[in-house]
Structure 1
Amino acid sequence: MKEPNTDRDIENTVDDRYIPITSVKSGALQTVAERVCCLTVQVVNVCFIGNREPADGWVLVDAGMPHSADTIQHVVREQFGEHSKPKAIVLTHGHFDHVGAVVELAEAWQVPVYAHELELPYVTGRQSYPDPDASVEGGLLAKLSPLFPNEPVNLGKHVRALPSDGTIPGLPEWRWIPTPGHSPGHVSLFREADRTLIAGDAFVTVRQDSLFKVILQFEEICGPPRYFTTDWKAAKESVQRLEALKPAAAVTGHGVPVFGAELAQGLARLSGQFDRVAVPDYGRYVDRIH
């Protein structure tokens, strides 16, 4: 397993970038499956896997929007105890709305942060993501996307590459699945025992480029957020990979958790008609995949 270069000082480049967009679900904590719950922070979800017992512990998946550390820590104290901290933080990818509090949390808890090897440049301060695409087909949030930060955070000594064998440190019942497209090293998490899926932004359950739908959390199984997705061919293959798992419950990076037949039907439609319903008609990163 290749270790990142951590010689630069830890740095949170998004700390001063509050994004004034929220939803009616912000602050809601919802149980998704046994020992899995998700918290909506403005317009993005973070997940807690595990329980209060120290012998078992818990893991945080993703780290929310900038300025969300206090909110996440408050929920941790309520759910796991006053002095509880996770065994690790796992990142589905390193976009600003999934790492907003990661530097502050990693320093406060002194725990490792795991991400796919291809995401390491974006969480060790070495490389910015491509610019968000305001020209892409979509709603108002797509047009506002140049306001969203794409600079890398730097986790320094805290960050580790996920093991190449698909295992997840601290989560023996789970495995990570490569789901690139939205970002080069995007991963999803899957628990085979009950077919619970944490999909990150491989697909989402709200039309993320529409401000109206985001605010109201209008449920709709969609492809990844358009303005940050740079490889549509890989994104399609990732959705097909997840659909083949036949998940029974899924929490995505944006939108409400989805279950059972509703999830199966929506994901089958997205997988089978991806070119038509997910790929935008135009945009800087659109690569026709017919």
Structure 2
Amino acid sequence: MDKHEHHEDHNETWHMSHAESEQILEDVAFYRTLISNVVFIGKQGQADWVLVDCGIGHYAKRIIEAAEKRFGNHPPKAIVLTHGHFDHVGSAEKLADHWDVPIYIHPMEMDYVTGKEDYPVGDATVGGGLFSILSPFFPTKPVRLGKYIQPLPTEGGLPFLNDWTIYHTPGHTPGHISLFRQNDRTLIAGDAIITVKQESSMAVFVQHQHVHGPPAYFTQNWEEAEKSVKKISHLQPSVVITGHGLPMEGELLAEQLQELAANFKELAVPKHQNKLH
């Protein structure tokens, strides 16, 4: 083994030993893959669980490690994707291969995960920091999830998760979804809203909590994004887990979400985009 291989092996061992999810509720936990979150739905140790989103590439081993610490050797019943951006599907194929489970996504996202259509290139003109500037270099090519990918029902029931409801929350992408559980008003929002200023690398690394609109550099339709935020606000979630940032709950979440919904154009839409509407 040369020095480079030893260094890579040492890094992998370090990451694996630290791959552990953080529990939010008895049956909801999340794990951060550098810049984006994956969510585990299911109680500690139980066989009946579902993974929401798959983070960036090269994180499959760490996600598996975090899952095994929480659920033992039980594979998930399914993987659900909120949308098809690189930082949410990066490890999807390797995870589906490892567990041999289906991956579900909204029908309007299918072309982006079956090799048929590219997402728009990131918009560096939205401002806000380093990630915006770098966004044109982020991957936008369609991934190919092949035999594993299946379309979700467009609204309503979710396979294996009877008490959760799918809400179509487009804008960031055409087929973006959020998951909501009415009995305790828990929301898994993907990138429809986030709790960190994702355009700024400093904010991402510090993880300062605040409710924001979707990541601006990748958001395709701001009118739809605003409608989705209003839909989410109307649900009055008590806990929210987003694709980027730390979970939020309680009064601070309620106040900031209401403010974002009421003043979306001023708070979320880039100034040059505002002028187009």
- TM norm structure 1: 0.86
CA distance in 2, matches of 1:79, 1:64: 18
Per the alignment, residue 22 of structure 1 pairs with none
Q: Which amino acid aligns with 2:26?
A: E
Which residue is equivalent to 1:180? 170
Aligned partner of 1:53 in structure 2 is: 46
Deviation track 1:17-69 (CA, whole Å, cap 9, x = no partner) reads: xxxxxxxxx95632222300111111111000012233xx1000000011110
Quote the offset at 1:230 in angstroms: 1.2
Partner of 2:159: 169
Distance 1:97 1:69, change over 3 A: same
Separation in 1, partners of 2:19, 2:270: 31
Alignment equivalent of 1:203, drawn from 148, 173, 193 = 193
Q: Is the 8 A contact 2:155 2:168 kept in 1?
A: no
Partner of residue 66, structure 1: 57
Asked if 2 retains the 8 angstrom alpha-carbon contact of 1:137 and 1:281, the reply is no
| One-letter identity of the residue aligned with 1:64 | G
Residues 199 and 251 in structure 1, CA contact (< 8 A), matched pair in contact too: yes
1:248 alignment partner, one of 235, 238, 244 = 238
Question: In 1, Cα distance between the equivalents of 2:205 and 2:148?
Answer: 34
Pairs within 5 Å for 1:221-232: 221-232=211-222
Tell me by how many angstroms 1:77 deviates. 1.1
Shift of the 213–165 alpha-carbon distance from structure 1 to 2, 3 Å rule, reads closer
Contact 1:275 1:289 in 2 (8 A): no
Residue 163 (structure 1) shift:
1.3
- 2:91 aligns with 101
- Greater RCO (Cα-Cα under 8 Å, separation 6 or more): 1
Paired residue secondary structure (1:244)? helix
2:252 counterpart of 1:262: yes
Count residues with an aligned counterpart. Answer: 259
CA distance in 2, matches of 1:287, 1:116: 28
Partner of 1:233: 223
Q: Which amino acid aligns with 1:40?
A: R
CA distance 1:289–1:241, shift in 2 (3 Å): farther
Counterparts of 1:1-290 in structure 2, within 5 Å, are 29-51=21-43, 52-54=45-47, 57-81=48-72, 83-282=73-272, 286=273, 288=275
TM-score normalised to structure 2 length: 0.90
The CA deviation at 1:288 is 4.6
Partner residue, 1:9: none
Deviation at 1:210, TM superposition (A): 0.6
Q: Which amino acid aligns with 1:213?
A: A
- Specify the SS of the correspondent of 1:172: strand
Q: Distance in 2 between matches of 1:288 and 1:98?
A: 30
1:114-138: CA deviations, max 9, x gaps?
0000000011111110111112232
Aligned twin of 1:13: none
The Cα offsets for residues 143-202 of structure 1, whole Å up to 9 and x where unpaired, read as 011221001111111111111342110100101101000000000000001000000000
Q: Counterpart in 1 of 2:15?
A: none
Contact 1:174 1:190 in 2 (8 A): yes
Secondary structure of the corresponding residue to residue 161 of structure 2 = coil
CA contact (8 A) 1:204 1:222 kept: yes
Measure the CA separation in 2 of the matches of 1:268 and 1:120: 32
- For 1:199 and 1:192, locate their aligned partners in 2 and report how far apart those are by CA, in whole Å: 14
Structure 2 stretches lacking a partner, 5+ long:
1-17
Given that residues 28 and 40 in structure 1 are in contact (C-alpha distance below 8 angstroms), is that contact kept between their aligned partners in structure 2? no
Does the Cα contact within 8 Å between 2:196 and 2:245 map onto a contact in 1? yes
Runs (4+) off by over 4 Å: 287-290
